[in-house]
């Protein structure tokens, strides 16, 4: 008689939850030990990463926002590469391999505001021969300092500076006299003549200290800091007179000042000995200013781009999280700095994940919305789960996909023909993913520990926890502290399908790589040319677009009104539409100027519309999304909040494991990599098996 399987109930199917289930069922030897059921409201997996296809508009891809995979997402790439290998799709299917699904990109453009005018700053990042997902370990913070200095030295040598003054050897020796004789021996061999050479010698000092196991000596930190301070004084004397007129020198200064002041802050604040967490109390801009960064740097397009990346422009951003992410982003990427998905995220990520997990025997219960996680009387475990059954399925099971151009895709609406109430849902235009839906559930399901589940993976979003797991928040102090101190915010996104291509629309860099522009004017501060997706959409010939523009940004937080306010989502979508109109009329001239006439009026006839609307109808038929649902709100990394996060396997409940980018992961930021790391840790905690999580301890105290 085979042993009884351990029953696992998974609430939610976002990236963290799916990663947990993938890891839990990864090994066939252990797979038979678990009976896993995933409960998901609505008709699709993906959470904030879900996408859909809209058959009414050329099977266009409709996303929650703008998604890229960064080149340092080692855990996420490793997982998705394993997934595609196991799926073993025939090459006759679209997206049969992971390398078809994700393609490297090396360029991005920052929009720089100088004296009230916008100027594009095109940056080309060097590619390398590494594959994301192959990394075994990450470098130490001291090693990263050497990498930063090497990059700055290379940049300085490629950028002409006036060369009016020099730094002498005696200046350097004054900074190292306080060191031990052992360090002086290798320091005296360095000779400085100024410019890039001082950075080279500083790098040599850093590397030599590491080789001699002296990299934690605070006297050495002071010496390196003194050398770099001297360098910044020299460089400022070289560029100060020209920085307002010379764009190349201004960019050089910003990068140098940012890199060196970050190193100075790490050395001065004990980051190397106490870990990155010691600066979590500071906002990133505040921390850079504390260590000497000039206003031109702190308010630069680079810093704004980093804030835009985590939707922090209207909030503080933890210096610890921002330093961690920036070092990983710029110095630890594999292949390219970012990778573009070649279809919707639902198509290329969540469809193969669902496909593989189903093959492994994982059960999915769509249209089941969690309403309560009930605790045992002693408040030490989960005893029950209550789920609202949203619809009645005709056949008892649900096939979630449609096929578009040889690809399995999630539709933007349920497959109504499989639902008893399908016609009424379609008639009323019910959104089963909405907290404010007026739809009346068809029933309720009660799950009990010991009968229906043994363990629970809570994979819902942070803003949903007070709704789904109110008992946890009321009974357990760490959960109350979490929801009170780790903030979330709303975001917005627009997608525009245009008949001309990107050159016809007037983008200045149309001969370069596909555009990705950020640090632009609020509220739609990021724009991307996503025209590579068109090959996987199916528009009518007379309305076939040649370009797709994705716009996204933060949104003024309206809060979470009661579920009785059923018109709230429509009001928020209208706000996104109004913001897009404002963008097109007043800000698109810097990016796609041909979309408006010289009189500032939008050229609606340049927009593709499968319904061939007239005038403004063509704009209204584009895609606009306000991510205001509790399940969609983005998790922020405000200063001082990291201490309130906890690991996925440290919930204070014996049979509950958390999965979400709101847990403590090492990244501690809202992103795919953090979600995967959280899911992996949840699976390890539940199974008791060790798991390799790249970067989980990066930047911690030594």
pLDDT in tens, 268-314: 999 998 999 999 999 999 999 999 999 999 999 999 999 999 999 88
Other Cβ atoms closer than 10 A to 311: 26
What share of residues in the chain are helix, strand, coil (percent, to 5)? 40, 20, 40
In whole angstroms, give the CA distance from residue 265 to residue 280. 12
Output DSSP code: residue 411.
B
Say what the pLDDT of residue 164 is. Answer: 62
Nearest Cα residue to 469 out of 458, 478, 482: 458
Per-residue buried b or exposed e for 196-231, using 16+ beta carbons within 10 Å of the residue's own CB:
bbbbbbbbbbbbbbbeeebbebeebbbbbbbbbbbb
DSSP character for 349?
Answer: I
Q: Are 101 and 536 in contact (CB under 8 A)?
A: no
The pLDDT value given to residue 217: 76
Give the model's confidence band at 84: pLDDT under 50 very low, under 70 low, under 90 confident, else very high.
Answer: very high
**What average pLDDT does range 53-77 have in this prediction?**
97
Q: Which residues pair with 318 in a beta bridge?
A: 283
How confident is the model at residue 193, as a pLDDT? 46
Percentage of residues of the chain with pLDDT beyond 70: 94
Nearest partner of 67 among 299, 294, 290, 346, judged by Cα: 346
Q: Give the mean pLDDT of 145-154.
A: 92
Q: What is the pLDDT of residues 390-409, one digit of tens each?
A: 999 999 899 999 999 999 99
Tell me if residue 634 falls in helix, strand or coil: strand
pLDDT tens per residue, range 100-139: 999 999 999 999 999 999 999 999 999 999 999 998 889 9
Q: pLDDT at position 374, please?
A: 98
Flag whether pLDDT at 316 surpasses 70: yes
Residue with the larger pLDDT of the pair 575 and 28: 575
Per-residue pLDDT, 594? 97
Q: In what order do the strands lie in the sheet with 338-341?
A: 69-70, 338-341, 102-105
Residues 6+ positions from 185 with CB-CB distance below 8 Å:
none
Non-local (6+) Cβ contacts of 394 within 8 A are 418, 419, 420
Highest mean pLDDT: which range of 126-140, 213-227, 437-451: 437-451
Nearest-angstrom CA–CA distance, 303 and 657:
35
Higher pLDDT, residue 188 or 308: 308
For the segment 13-25, the average pLDDT, to the nearest whole number, is 98
Q: What is the per-residue pLDDT across 528-559, written as a single tens digit (0 to 9) for each?
A: 999 999 999 999 999 999 999 999 999 999 99
Closest CA to 226 of 253, 257, 263: 263
3: DSSP letter: P
Q: Which helix (H) or strand (E) holds 389?
A: strand 382-389
Spatial distance between the Cα atoms of 338 and 147, rounded to a whole number of angstroms: 19
By the 8 A CB rule, do 409 and 351 touch? yes
pLDDT beyond 70 at 182: no
pLDDT in tens, 477-529: 999 999 999 999 999 999 999 999 999 999 999 999 999 999 999 999 999 99
Structure tokens at 365: 């219960």
Nearest CA-CA partner of 622 in 555, 566, 554, 576: 576
Encode pLDDT of 636-688 as tens digits.
Answer: 999 999 999 999 999 999 999 999 999 999 999 999 999 999 999 999 999 99
| pLDDT for 465 | 98
Q: What are phi and psi of 164, to 5 degrees?
A: -80, -30
Q: What is the pLDDT of residue 171?
A: 54
Average pLDDT over residues 55-82: 97
Of the candidates 317, 204, 224, which has an alpha carbon nearest to the alpha carbon of residue 268?
224
Q: H or E stretch including 156?
A: helix 141-158
Spell out the residues 6+ positions from residue 471 whose beta carbon is closer than 8 angstroms to its own.
Answer: 372, 373, 374, 375
Q: In what side-by-side order are the strands of the sheet with 6-11?
A: 363-366, 34-40, 6-11, 455-458, 656-658
Q: What angle separates helix 319-331 from helix 141-158, to the nearest 10 degrees? A: 60
Closest CA to 632 of 460, 470, 409: 460
DSSP letters of 276-302?
Answer: GGGGTTSBHHHHHHHTT--HHHHTSHH
Nearest alpha-carbon partner for 529 in 553, 511, 543, 513: 513
Q: Can you tell me the distance from the alpha carbon of 89 to that of 100, in angstroms, rounded to the nearest whole number?
A: 12
Residues comprising the chain, all counted? 702
Half-sphere exposure of 84 (CA within 13 A, CB side): 19
- Give the C-alpha separation, 362 to 37, whole Å: 6
d(CA 515, CA 541): 25
Averaged over 163-188, what is the pLDDT?
A: 52
Q: Rounded distance, CA 666 to CA 341, Å?
A: 25
Strand ranges in 417-525 using DSSP code E only, listed in sequence order: 443-448, 455-458, 488-498, 516-518
Tokens at residue 631, please? 């399940």
Whole-angstrom distance, CA of residue 696 vs CA of residue 666: 5
Q: Tell which residue, 293, 291, 287, 317, has the closest CA to residue 304.
A: 317
Burial of 82: CB neighbours in 10 Å, binned 0-12, 13-18, 19+: middle
What's the rounded mean pLDDT across residues 14-30?
95
pLDDT at 191: 42
Cβ neighbours, 10 Å, residue 506? 17
Domain range summary for the chain, segments of one domain joined by +: 139-331
CA dihedral for 215, 217, 218, 219, sign (positive or negative):
negative
Distance separating alpha carbons of residues 702 and 278, to the nearest angstrom: 13
Specify the pTM: 0.95
Residue 97 has pLDDT above 60, yes or no: yes
User: What pLDDT score does 176 carry?
Assistant: 53
Calculate the average pLDDT of the chain: 93
Residue 173 pLDDT greater than 70, yes or no: no
Confidence of residue 167 (pLDDT cuts 50, 70, 90): low
């Amino acid at each position: 008689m085979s042993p009884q399987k351990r029953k696992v109930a998974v609430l939610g199917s976002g990236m963290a939850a799916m990663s947990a289930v993938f890891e839990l069922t990864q090994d066939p030897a252990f797979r038979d030990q678990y009976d896993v059921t995933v409960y998901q409201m609505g008709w699709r997996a993906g959470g904030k990463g879900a996408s859909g296809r809209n058959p009414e508009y050329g099977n266009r891809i409709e996303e929650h926002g703008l998604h890229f995979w960064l080149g340092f997402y080692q855990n996420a790439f490793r997982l998705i590469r394993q997934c595609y290998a196991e799926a073993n799709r025939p090459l006759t299917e679209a997206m049969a391999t992971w390398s078809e699904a994700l393609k490297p990109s090396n360029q991005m453009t920052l929009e720089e505001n100088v004296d009230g005018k916008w100027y594009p700053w095109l940056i080309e990042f060097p590619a390398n021969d590494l594959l994301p997902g192959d990394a075994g370990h990450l470098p130490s913070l001291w090693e990263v300092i050497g990498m930063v200095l090497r990059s700055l030295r290379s940049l300085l040598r490629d950028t002409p500076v006036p060369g009016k003054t020099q730094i002498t050897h005696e200046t350097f020796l004054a900074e190292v006299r306080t060191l031990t004789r052992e360090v002086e021996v290798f320091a005296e061999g360095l000779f400085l003549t100024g410019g890039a050479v001082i950075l080279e010698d500083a790098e040599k000092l850093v590397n030599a200290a590491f080789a001699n196991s002296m990299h934690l000596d605070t006297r050495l930190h002071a010496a390196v800091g003194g050398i770099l301070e001297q360098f910044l004084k020299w460089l400022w004397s070289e560029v100060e007179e020209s920085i307002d007129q010379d764009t190349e020198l201004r960019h050089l200064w910003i990068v140098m000042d940012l890199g060196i002041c970050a190193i100075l802050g790490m050395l001065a604040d004990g980051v190397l000995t106490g870990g990155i967490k010691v600066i979590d109390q500071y906002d990133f801009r505040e921390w850079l200013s504390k260590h000497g960064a000039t206003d031109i740097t702190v308010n630069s397009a680079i810093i704004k781009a980093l804030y835009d990346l985590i939707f922090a422009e209207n909030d503080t951003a933890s210096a610890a999280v921002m330093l961690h992410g920036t070092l990983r982003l710029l110095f630890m990427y594999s292949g390219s700095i970012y990778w573009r998905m070649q279809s919707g995220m639902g198509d290329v990520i969540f469809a193969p994940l669902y496909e593989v997990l189903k093959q492994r025997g994982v059960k999915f219960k769509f249209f089941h919305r969690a309403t309560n996680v009930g605790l045992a009387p002693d408040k030490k475990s989960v005893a029950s789960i209550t789920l609202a059954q949203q619809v009645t399925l005709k056949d008892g099971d649900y096939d979630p996909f449609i096929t578009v151009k040889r690809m399995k895709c999630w539709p933007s609406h349920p497959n109504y023909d499989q639902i008893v109430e399908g016609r009424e849902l379609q008639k009323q235009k019910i959104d089963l993913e909405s907290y404010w839906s007026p739809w009346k559930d068809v029933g309720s399901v009660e799950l009990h520990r010991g009968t229906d589940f043994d363990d629970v993976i809570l994979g819902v979003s942070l803003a949903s926890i007070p709704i789904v797991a109110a008992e946890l928040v009321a009974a357990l102090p760490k959960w109350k502290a979490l929801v009170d101190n780790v903030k979330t915010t709303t975001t917005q996104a627009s997608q525009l399908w245009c008949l001309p291509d990107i050159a016809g629309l007037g983008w200045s860099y149309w001969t370069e790589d596909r555009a990705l522009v950020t640090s632009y004017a609020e509220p739609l501060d990021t724009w991307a040319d996503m025209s590579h997706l068109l090959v996987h959409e199916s528009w009518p010939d007379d309305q076939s677009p040649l370009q797709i523009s994705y716009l996204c940004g933060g949104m003024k937080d309206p809060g979470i009104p009661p579920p009785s306010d059923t018109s709230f989502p429509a009001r928020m979508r209208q706000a996104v539409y109004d913001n897009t109109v404002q963008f097109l009329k007043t800000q698109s001239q810097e990016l796609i100027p041909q979309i408006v006439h010289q009189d500032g009026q939008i050229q609606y006839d340049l927009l593709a519309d499968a319904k061939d609307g007239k005038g403004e109808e063509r704009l209204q038929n584009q895609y606009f999304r306000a991510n205001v649902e509790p399940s969609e709100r983005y998790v922020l990394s405000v200063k001082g909040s990291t201490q309130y996060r906890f690991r996925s396997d440290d919930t204070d409940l014996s049979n509950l494991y958390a999965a979400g980018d709101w847990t403590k992961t090492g990244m501690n930021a809202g992103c795919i990599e953090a979600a995967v790391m959280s899911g992996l840790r949840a699976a390890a905690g539940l199974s008791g098996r060790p798991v390799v999580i790249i970067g989980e301890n990066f930047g911690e105290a030594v």
